[in-house]
A and B are shown apart, each in its own frame.
Chain A
Amino acid sequence: MMTNNNSEPKYVIETQDLEIYYGDFKAVTNVNMKIEHNKITAIIGPSGCGKSTLLRAFNRMNELYAGTSIKGNVIFNGQDIYAKEVDPVEVRYRIGMVFQKPNPFPKSIYENIAWTARIHGYKGNMDELVESSLQQAALWDEVKDKLHQSGLSLSGGQQQRLCIARAISIKPEVILMDEPASALDPIATLKIEELMQELKKNYTITIVTHNMQQAARASDYTAMMMLSGEGERSGTVIEFDETKKIFTRPSDKRTEDYVTGRFG
Chain B
Amino acid sequence: MKEKAVVQGFANNLDWRNRKGVFWHVIFQASTIVGIITLITLIFNVIDSAFGYVAYEARVDPDTLTMNGIPLEEQSKEQLVELLQSTLSSGAYNKLNNEKSFEDRSREEVFQVIVERIIRPKVVRVWDLWPSLTQADEIRATVAQDFPKAELDFVSWLTRDFVTRPQTSEPLTAGVRTAILGSLWTIFFTILLAFPIGVGAAIYLEEYASDNWLNRVIQTNINNLAGVPSIVYGILGLAIFVRTLEPLTSGKLFGLVDLTTANGRTVLSAGLTLGLLVLPIIIINAQEAIRAVPRSLRNASYGVGATKWQTVWSHILPNAMPGILTGTILAISRAIGETAPLVVVGASTAISFDPSSPFSKFTTLPIQIYQWTARPQAEFQSLAAAAILVLLILLLSLNASAVLLRNRFSRRF
Contact = CB atoms under 8 A, between A and B. Distances in A.
B314 interface: yes
A150 B300 contact: no
A99 B300 contact: yes
B210 to A, nearest CB: 9
A90 B315 CA distance: 19
B304 A167 contact: yes
A152 B302 CA distance: 19
A191 interface: no
A94 B298 CA distance: 18
Given A108-B413, A119-B310, A99 B299 contact: yes
Contacts of B303: 59, 61, 92, 96-99, 167
| Interface size class of chain B, counting residues whose CB lies under 8 Å from the partner chain | 10 to 19
Given A115-B314, A119-B310, A64 B305 contact: no
A113 to B, nearest CB: 10
Given A93-B305, A107-B413, A64 B297 contact: no
Interface in B287-304: 296-304
A89 B305 contact: yes
Interface in B72-122: none
A173 to B, nearest CB: 12
Contact of B315 (A94, A99, A105, A108): A105
A97 B305 CA distance: 10
A92 B310 CA distance: 14
B304 to A, nearest CB: 5
Contacts, number: 63
A166 B299 CA distance: 13
Interface string A163-200: 10011001000000000000000000000000000000
B211 interface: yes
A64 B299 contact: yes
A89 B306 contact: yes
Contacts of B319: 106
A183 to B, nearest CB: 11
Given A66-B211, A105-B315, A119-B310, A166 B304 contact: yes
A103 B296 contact: yes
A101 interface: yes
B211 to A, nearest CB: 6
B413 A163 contact: no
Nearest to B315: A105
A114 B298 CA distance: 17
Given A66-B211, A103-B296, A105-B315, A89 B307 contact: yes
A38 interface: no
Contacts of B305: 89-90, 92-94, 96, 119-120, 170
A68 B63 CA distance: 89
A102 B315 CA distance: 16
Contacts of A103: 296-297, 299-300
Contacts of A170: 304-305
Interface string B382-397: 0000000000000000
A257 B302 CA distance: 38
Contacts of A45: none
B260 to A, nearest CB: 58
Find the residue from B297, B299, B301, B310 having the highest chain A CB count within 10 A. Answer: B299
B304 A101 contact: no
A94 B314 CA distance: 21
Interface in A109-161: 115-116, 119-120, 150, 152
Nearest to A99: B299
Contact of B299 (A61, A108, A115): A61
Which of B298, B305, B307 has its CB near the most chain A CB atoms (within 10 A)? Answer: B305
Contacts of A107: 413
A98 B211 CA distance: 28
Contacts of A235: none
Nearest to B298: A64
B392 to A, nearest CB: 37
Contacts of B307: 89, 119
B306 A119 contact: yes
A104 interface: yes
A166 B319 CA distance: 20
B319 to A, nearest CB: 7
Contacts of B297: 103, 105-106
Contacts of B301: 105
B320 to A, nearest CB: 12
Nearest to A120: B305
B207 to A, nearest CB: 11
Contacts of A90: 305
A163 B300 CA distance: 8
B300 A92 contact: no
A170 B305 CA distance: 9
A182 B126 CA distance: 76
Contacts of A163: 300
A89 B305 CA distance: 5
A151 to B, nearest CB: 8
Interface in A59-96: 59, 61, 64, 66, 89-90, 92-94, 96
Nearest to A166: B304
Interface in B305-332: 305-307, 310, 314-315, 319
Given A64-B302, A104-B300, 14 more contacts: A61-B299, A66-B211, A89-B307, A94-B305, A99-B303, A103-B300, A105-B315, A106-B297, A116-B306, A119-B304, A119-B305, A152-B413, A166-B300, A170-B305
23 contacts: A59-B303, A61-B303, A89-B306, A90-B305, A92-B302, A92-B303, A92-B305, A93-B305, A96-B304, A98-B303, A99-B296, A99-B299, A101-B296, A103-B297, A105-B300, A106-B413, A108-B413, A119-B304, A119-B306, A119-B310, A167-B303, A167-B304, A170-B305
10 cross-chain pairs, A with B, having the tightest CB-CB distances, nearest first: A93-B305, A103-B296, A97-B303, A103-B300, A92-B305, A150-B413, A116-B304, A106-B413, A119-B310, A89-B307
